[in-house]
Amino acid sequence: MAQQGKKGLVREISLFQATSINMSQMVGIGPFITIPLILSTMGGPQAIFGWIVGAIFAIADGLVWSELGAAMPGEGGSYIYLREGFQYRTGKLMPFLFVWSTLIATPMIMSTGMIGMTNYLAYFWPEMTPMDKKLIAVAITVITVALLYRRVNSVAKIIVVLWSGMIVTVLLMIIAGATHFNPHLAFAFPHDAFDPNKFLAGLGGGMLIAIYDYMGYYNSCYLGDEIKNPGRTIPLSVILSIAAVAVIYIAMNLGIIGAVPWQEAMKSANVATLLIQTVWGKTGATIITLLILWTGFASVYVGLLGASRIPYHAAIDGLFFRSFSKVHYRYQFPHISLFVMGSVTAICCFFDLSQIINTLMAVSIVVQFMGQIVALTVLRKRQPHLKRPFKQWLYPIPSIIAFIGWAYVFYSSGMQAIEWAIGWTVLGIVAFLIWAKVEKQWPFGPKQITENYLHHEDPEPNESVMGLRSKTSSSH
């Protein structure tokens, strides 16, 4: 019998499925277009160190997600962590700003995946016009939403199928590279490859690219109310997905530069097709392009799945439009939230989003990623008796590494993006103040402190949603 979650949601996602969800989000179109970028940025085969440093950073940040997700398993992930950690000082400001940025940033990011798939489709349809690409991207969005419009156990099964296709894709890439591996090509370092100044500068840029490709290791945290035994499953799914994807990326990178000169690989717009065509000819290139499309679809599929749970949880809290809190009467998933997020994604397919995405990602970094690192520290002090099935290893070292890393990424996003991010945040604060005034919330009303996850002992605390002890106080 299925385990029941909050608000009618069902705990049916297993560890294998949760890990598949994370990995499918991580390995999308990204690595197939960024391997040339990281080779160019770092100036040669030393790009491998970019993937390694990126993995270390992802593990450090993943340990933040793991502790928070295991202790507070609920739909919305960061929304919950920011709400619980910052309620003591700023009421609901931080979760409001998170929803404010995510509702636009996430569909924009998803739309780039849709557009990226149309670029690969151009391999079969070279005459495709820019408008054709936009319309096809919208069609892919509609198909994605239609396939997500079902009970979560069915969605999880579809994700496993998509994940299997992704694994086949990367295995073919790795096998192709391994069977034609030439160490003289793979390790043909330029003479100044390890010059300290040049190497460190390149490593910083390479790490930024690698972080982009590792993004998604936390996707299972957004589905906390639908995951079996979340106290164990969420941390394992985060850590296993980062480790597995790190191996995949390093193997793919070595395989490519071991079969194709890195000077040629870094100039290729479609390095995966270049590798397979070099090794197995045009038929192989056709097959790998189809599989890359499969992999790209898996990424946007799980991305919209997780994103649709964020406004849902905010609506339950009364921090967003109430209609978003509705769960489908039959399939038990937040269908209004999914439909709206899908619609915004479809609209975004018609725009040039690069600068806007950089801006909104900058907002997300400060509010979400850096904010929840602070939230973890606050919760350790404010709620020492919170049941934590998983505790961050070597705390607070991973938190410090992750915070510094995100600060560097924010700084590296560029002054224009930072300025727009500040402007967008100011607008979000104004919107929050209007909402707070209408709803008589802090700072225009009493500060409600509700420690939702500070519950009594339970013999099976992670097998179902517990009866929660709510501690509420009012202060000004």
pTM score, whole prediction: 0.84
Query: What is the structure's pLDDT at 17?
Result: 93
3-state secondary structure the chain: CCEECHHHCEECECHHHHHHHHHHHHCCCHHHHHHHHHHHHHCCHHHHHHHHHHHHHHHHHHHHHHHHHHHCCCECCHHHHHHHHHHHHHCCHHHHHHHHHHHHHHHHHHHHHHHHHHHHHCCCCCCCCHHHHHHHHHHHHHHHHHHHCCCHHHHHHHHHHHHHHHHHHHHHHHHHHHHCCCHHHHCCCCCCCCCHHHHHHHHHHHHHHHHHHHCCCCHHHHEHHHECCHHHHHHHHHHHHHHHHHHHHHHHHHHHHCCCCHHHHCCCCCHHHHHHHHHHHHHHHHHHHHHHHHHHHHHHHHHHHHHCHHHHHHHHCCCCCHHHHCCCCCCCCCHHHHHHHHHHHHHHCCCCCHHHHHHHHHHHHHHHHHHHHHHHHHHHHHCCCCCCCCCCCCCCHHHHHHHHHHHHHHHHCCHHHHHHHHHHHHHHHHHHHHHHHHHCCCCCCCEEEECCCCCCCCCCCCCCCCCCCCCEEEEC
pLDDT in 10s for each residue of the chain, 476 residues: 455 555 557 888 999 999 999 998 888 777 887 898 899 989 999 999 999 999 999 999 999 999 999 999 987 899 999 999 999 999 999 999 998 888 777 888 888 788 888 888 888 888 889 899 899 999 999 999 999 988 877 887 888 888 899 899 999 999 999 999 999 999 999 999 999 988 988 888 888 888 888 989 999 999 898 899 999 999 999 999 999 999 999 999 999 999 999 999 998 877 888 899 889 998 999 999 999 999 889 888 888 888 888 888 788 878 877 788 888 888 888 899 999 999 989 998 888 756 666 676 787 898 999 999 999 999 999 999 999 999 999 999 999 999 999 998 888 777 888 888 888 889 999 989 998 998 899 999 998 898 989 864 443 444 433 333 333 333 33
CATH superfamily of 3-437: Amino acid/polyamine transporter I (1.20.1740.10)
Residue 375: which of 358, 357, 392, 359 has the closest Cα? 392
Note the pLDDT of residue 74.
86
Residue with tokens 């400001």: 93
Residue type at 288?
I
How buried is 29 (Cβ within 10 angstroms: 0-12 exposed, 13-18 middle, 19+ buried)? Answer: buried
Strand-pair partners of 24: none
Beta-carbon neighbour count of residue 390 at 10 Å? 20
State the Cα torsion 302-102-221-398 to the nearest 10°: 120
Domains of the chain, by residue range, sit at 3-437
d(CA 101, CA 99): 5
pLDDT of residue 28: 79
